[in-house]
């Protein structure tokens, strides 16, 4: 018996894109489904059904044969074959361990949209986080110095904050159990060579939470790198130290060795200034390495388990970070994104 499907073609296309992103498939494959969903979204359901029946869906911009097939099957009320295949392949968590901790996470403190180097609008990131049961998602697009990632100037960041307000107005009350969902205002701000931050104090003060990361001169000698990181951690605006070693262990960008610095000094500064050490959940990063993760644990640091997602489907990568945190025996109450939104915001305030 054929399983019925009543979620509609846009939902089917979005779900396929999410599952492809979750599986870390090539961006061009994902883009086809997200583009098709964007094309259909403003159209009347009757027009979509008429085009499906007439076989003219491919006359619409952004819809090819594969996406037209998905739309036609969804319009007919059957589960699209492409969707069914992906659901079967992607069922279950991404990691075996860390399930209790994953259930305890209330949000994610590091994510990107197409305002910088992410692949989707911030609205899509927010709505997907809501669908995953998050209470909050901190949007942390890059700061201006990181031009390769289309970092945000102060003016562009100010505009983004207005858009976030509008998205929150739209999403109010749509979270599971009526608990409310909030897209929080944040930034992944570059730590400059001298340890200062790549954004004005005025703009940093307008944000809910700030992740500070090193993205340049990763091979700096250990002594100046340590000074650089400690200075950033001491800045009262910094809440989370992002992917502290900058290493890459696998993936399409190749590998990269970790930066060299006095980890004890950096983590002692984090503990002293109440800055969380990020457990970056991206499989290509696994940052910090296990030895440093355990050192930060022993020195009394707070932690933030983050997806560092650049696409909606990557929000599920929190599974990997939770598995690592559980293996390291980290108390869930030391993980800031297990905290309710109000507690997180009180902690993150400058």
Residue-by-residue pLDDT tens, the chain, 350 positions: 568 899 999 999 999 999 999 999 888 889 999 999 999 999 999 999 999 999 999 999 999 999 999 999 999 999 999 999 999 999 899 999 999 999 999 999 999 999 999 999 999 999 999 999 999 999 999 999 998 889 999 999 999 999 999 999 988 755 444 458 999 999 999 999 999 999 999 999 999 999 999 999 999 999 999 999 999 999 999 999 999 999 999 977 789 999 999 999 999 999 999 999 999 999 999 999 999 999 999 999 999 999 999 999 999 999 999 999 999 999 999 999 999 999 999 999 97
- In this structure, are residues 208 and 184 in contact, taking their beta carbons and an 8 Å threshold? yes
**d(Cα 304, Cα 310) in Å, to the nearest integer?**
17
Q: Which CATH architecture has domain 99-348?
A: Alpha-Beta Barrel (3.20)
The pTM score is 0.94
Which residue shows structure tokens 């692949």?
119
User: Please, what CATH class does the domain formed by 9-90 belong to?
Assistant: mainly alpha
Domains of the chain, by residue range, sit at 9-90, 99-348
Cβ atoms of residues 210 and 110 within 8 Å = no
Domains 9-90 and 99-348 in one fold:
no
Question: Minimal CA–CA distance to 276: which of 260, 261, 251, 293?
Answer: 293
Question: Percentage helix, strand, coil, to 5, in the chain?
Answer: 50, 10, 40
State phi, psi for 211 to the nearest 5 degrees.
-100, 130
> Other CB atoms closer than 10 Å to residue 267's CB: what's the count?
26
DSSP string over 59-113: GSTT--HHHHHHHHHHHTTB--HHHHHHHHHH-S-SSSS-HHHHHH--EES-B--
> What gap in Å lies between CA 179 and CA 177, rounded to an integer?
5
Joined together, the tokens standing for residue 135 give 């209470």
- Rounded to whole angstroms, the Cα distance separating 202 from 32 reads 39
């Amino acid at each position: 018996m054929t399983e019925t499907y009543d979620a509609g073609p846009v939902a089917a296309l979005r779900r396929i894109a999410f599952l492809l992103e979750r599986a870390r498939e090539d961006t061009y494959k994902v883009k086809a489904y997200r583009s098709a969903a964007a094309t259909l979204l403003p159209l009347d359901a009757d027009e979509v059904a008429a085009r499906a029946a007439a076989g003219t869906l491919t006359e619409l911009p952004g819809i090819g044969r594969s996406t037209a097939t998905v739309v036609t099957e969804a319009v007919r009320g059957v589960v699209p074959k492409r969707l069914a295949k992906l659901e079967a392949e992607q069922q279950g968590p991404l990691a075996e361990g860390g399930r209790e901790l994953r259930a305890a996470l209330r949000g994610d403190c590091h994510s990107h949209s197409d305002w910088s180097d992410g692949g989707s609008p911030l609205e899509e990131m927010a709505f997907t986080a809501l669908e995953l049961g998050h209470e909050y998602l901190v949007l942390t697009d890059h700061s201006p110095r990181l031009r390769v990632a289309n970092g945000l100037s102060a003016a562009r960041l100010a505009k983004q904050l207005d858009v976030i307000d509008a998205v929150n107005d739209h999403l109010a009350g749509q979270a599971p159990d009526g608990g409310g969902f909030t897209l929080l205002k944040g930034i992944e701000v570059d730590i400059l060579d001298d340890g200062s931050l790549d954004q004005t104090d005025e703009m940093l003060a307008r944000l809910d939470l700030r992740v500070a990361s090193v993205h340049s001169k990763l091979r700096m000698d250990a002594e100046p790198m340590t000074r650089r990181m400690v200075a950033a951690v001491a800045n009262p605006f910094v809440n989370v130290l992002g992917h502290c070693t900058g290493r890459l262990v696998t993936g399409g960008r190749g590998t990269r060795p970790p930066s060299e610095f006095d980890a004890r000094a950096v983590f002692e500064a984090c503990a002293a200034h109440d800055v969380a050490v990020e457990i970056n959940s991206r499989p290509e990063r696994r940052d910090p390495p296990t030895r440093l993760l355990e050192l930060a644990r022993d020195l009394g640091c707070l932690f933030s388990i983050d997806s560092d997602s650049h696409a909606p489907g990557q929000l599920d990568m929190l599974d990997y970070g939770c598995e690592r945190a559980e293996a390291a025996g980290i108390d869930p109450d030391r993980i800031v994104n297990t905290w309710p939104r109000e507690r997180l915001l009180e902690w993150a305030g400058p």
